[in-house]
Chain A
């Protein structure tokens, strides 16, 4: 047992001291949207979404990817939902090239103005991940604060907090990152626009196709199943996104 543990430590040490390969990625790390490359990009996506509560919606998503210095990127995202919900998120992502894959860490703030219900939902997340050619894993935690815009400050009303939620994402890719197209399947409790409770997983099918060195097309699908850990699973929501990215 001790011998095996020693070998494992030796392997990890060797992996860390070996010179990192020059990591050329066309994928977006755990996303397929521009992460992993040192270029600015802007994406615009149109989305049809449905859930059992708000029913049919049309949404518009805008993403900006900004590599501020080498190995440090900032992502900014905004979404308008026709259900009268607005979401904005800011992500700071340092990356570390390794001989095998790439480590990344994410600090994310997400603000959702649920205007239709006169409330806000703020999430702050910290996570780490490891991206290989065919697999990406990410794990971390987030805190949520929900507050009503009409809170009576002179009553016992308070804002609702969820101090710790687990954040996880597992994604498998069909092609290596240097390919000009890729398809992935992901299981996570968050996507770009929501951080669900840890027991409310989302299933995503993502794809990208690079037309040339500036233009990329995206097609993404997401479904949310509710009650999985009630052991009474049923369909709750779905979304289909189509859009394009321009890389400067």
Chain B
């Protein structure tokens, strides 16, 4: 642990003060900021046909390069099916890279006229060096919900929760519990929760990526099962993991960062049934 600490200290991209006390506002304040933003912005209702595609990428860790994210954007834009996308956090690697990441998306038109087709959650890297306010300025809320409809027919309910510092916190958990209770019998085809941090840890594929605490893991898994949530999508671990627990499928998506030896993103076919495919970002032979 000491060795790990010393190695991390040598890397200017790591906010070592945050190891002892997070430099961004803690979850209760971020949740309050997010709810204020969402309440004023209103709820997004996406219109889609019954069958559409969901593109998912995570952990792009934009630093000085942005190849992985740009390839993902090109693939997303080139797709002719009705589609939308999720970014599961750690958009940037360290400080002062939001402008870079945002310019990649704006230059490629993904955040222009179709701005609300990409939904973001914040990861731990996104709030290093007291950058919550910057993230908040760019992307507004880290705790929100939106739904996908076909006319008046309800399709999917998407719920984004903020786990950037390894806890949901008391207020956000209560909000999630109430939202799930309200929406459970609303008639959605399925409910999908997405966030940054994974709940399970079947291997030590990326050593130091910590999870939520055990108590929170117990509580959240039960809450998702009881509410009939079908999918929990997350990143953080940089390594793919697909598991089913309590009737919920938990998918940890591989990172799409440039420094990853084997970067992927995921495409999900949404319909009465769902299927998914992980697509490599490496050049094909």
Contacts and interface: CB of A to CB of B under 8 A. Distances in A.
Q: Please indicate whether A and B come from the same complex rather than being unrelated chains.
A: yes
Interface of A: 51-55, 114, 116-119, 121, 146, 148, 150-152, 155-164, 168, 194, 196-197, 199-201, 224, 226-234, 236-237
Nearest to B197: A230
16 contacts: A52-B216, A117-B218, A148-B221, A148-B222, A157-B244, A158-B245, A160-B243, A162-B200, A163-B202, A199-B209, A200-B214, A227-B166, A230-B209, A232-B22, A232-B124, A232-B164
A236 B215 CA distance: 10
A159 B15 CA distance: 36
A152 B220 CA distance: 18
A224 B217 CA distance: 15
B170 interface: yes
Contacts of A161: 202
B38 interface: no
Contact of A148 (B1, B167, B213, B225): B225
Contacts of B24: 232
Contact of A53 (B23, B202, B216): B216
A124 to B, nearest CB: 16
A54 B166 contact: no
Given A53-B215, A117-B219, A152 B247 contact: yes
B205 to A, nearest CB: 12
B170 A55 contact: yes
A146 B218 CA distance: 9
B211 interface: yes
Nearest to B132: A232
A131 to B, nearest CB: 20
B26 interface: yes
A233 B214 contact: no
A102 to B, nearest CB: 24
A243 to B, nearest CB: 22
Ranked nearest first, the 7 interchain pairs of A and B with the lowest CB-CB distance are: A227-B166, A232-B165, A117-B222, A230-B124, A232-B22, A231-B18, A199-B210
A226 B212 contact: yes
B201 interface: yes
A146 B124 CA distance: 26
A164 B204 contact: yes
A208 B100 CA distance: 56
A226 B222 contact: no
A134 to B, nearest CB: 19
B109 interface: no
Contacts of A114: 218
B246 interface: yes
Interface string B229-254: 00000000000000111110000000
Contact of B202 (A116, A160, A237): A160
A240 B208 CA distance: 29
B18 A233 contact: yes
Contacts of B203: 163
Interface string B241-284: 00111110000000000000000000000000000000000000
Nearest to A158: B244
Interface string B123-138: 0100110000000000
B19 interface: yes
B165 A233 contact: yes
A200 B23 CA distance: 19
Interface string B44-78: 00000000000000000000000000000000000
A200 B167 CA distance: 12
A155 B222 CA distance: 17
Interface centre among A53, A146, A168 (most CB of B within 10 A): A53
B210 A51 contact: no
A231 B164 CA distance: 10
B193 interface: no
Nearest to B212: A226
